[in-house]
Amino acid sequence: KNIAILASGSGSNAEKIMEYFKGSAKARVVLVASNKTDAFVLRRASKFGVPTFTFSKSDLTAGVLTEKLKVLHVDLVVLAGFLLKIPDNLIQAFPERIVNIHPALLPKYGGKGMYGMHVHQAVKDAGDQETGITIHLVNENYDEGKIIFQAAVAVASTDSPEAIAQKVHSLEHKYFPNVIESLL
Ligand code: GRF
């Protein structure tokens, strides 16, 4: 099976996924694609010898990425810190085949504007005693697709948003590759 990863930033999750499937007979990462030409994820991909592709927002809307993924016979599209809205042309080409990871326990702290540190700050401000990760399928609405997997972690009242982010990242790294494998 062929996996493509879309990421806009650092790509620590992407790295864990590439590591996990390195040398696997079952699946391989055939592409790392980004809307940011200077995203660190592209360097991580090169380190693993995984081909990269960059595209603009208008390319995405016009279906350029969708075409590329089709040509590569991609079976599963993985969003790992990808910050643009997925256009209908991509959703329709890969129905139930696009998976996203969100750094909170959806339906809490989802939707437009809820990404990265905004999420962890919101958890902190609410005084929540736990947070976690959600892995879900992608549909037309932000963070509203079918939930596949969740895992929680305790938040201490003394935790800074950065500390919360670190806990959540550890959970992501621990579970995301496995969940992807189970979807293939
Ligand atoms: C993760 O926290 C993920 O949940 C969110 O973006 C972050 C990406 O982190 N959607 P990284 O680039 O994989 O380090």
Is residue 73 located within the same domain as residue 111? no
Cα(80)–Cα(61) distance, integer angstroms: 19
pLDDT of residue 140: 80
ipTM of the complex: 0.96
Is residue 79 located within the same domain as residue 111? no
pLDDT of residue 139: 86
Residue 76 belongs to domain with CATH number: 3.40.50.170
Residues in binding site for (6R)-10-formyltetrahydrofolate: 100
Catalytic residue ranges = 102
> What is the extent of the structural domain holding 58?
1-95
User: Partners of 170 in the beta sheet?
Assistant: none
Name the one residue in this structure whose structure tokens are 């806990």: 167
Number of domain units in the chain: 2
Is residue 59 located within the same domain as residue 90? yes
Ligand 1 pocket by C-beta < 6 Å: which residues? 7, 9-14, 80-81, 101-103, 169, 172
pLDDT of residue 144: 76
Render pLDDT for 62-93 as a digit per residue (tens, 0 to 9): 999 999 999 999 999 999 999 999 999 999 99
User: What secondary structure letter does DSSP report for 157?
Assistant: T
What are the angstrom distances between the C-alpha of 156 and each of 132, 149, 171?
Answer: 13, 23, 16
Is residue 105 located within the same domain as residue 136? yes
Is residue 123 located within the same domain as residue 148? yes
Is residue 42 located within the same domain as residue 111? no
Is residue 80 located within the same domain as residue 108? no
Q: What is the pTM of this model?
A: 0.95
Which DSSP helix (H) or strand (E) runs through 130? Answer: strand 130-137
Q: Which atom of ligand 1 is nearest to the CA of 100?
A: 10
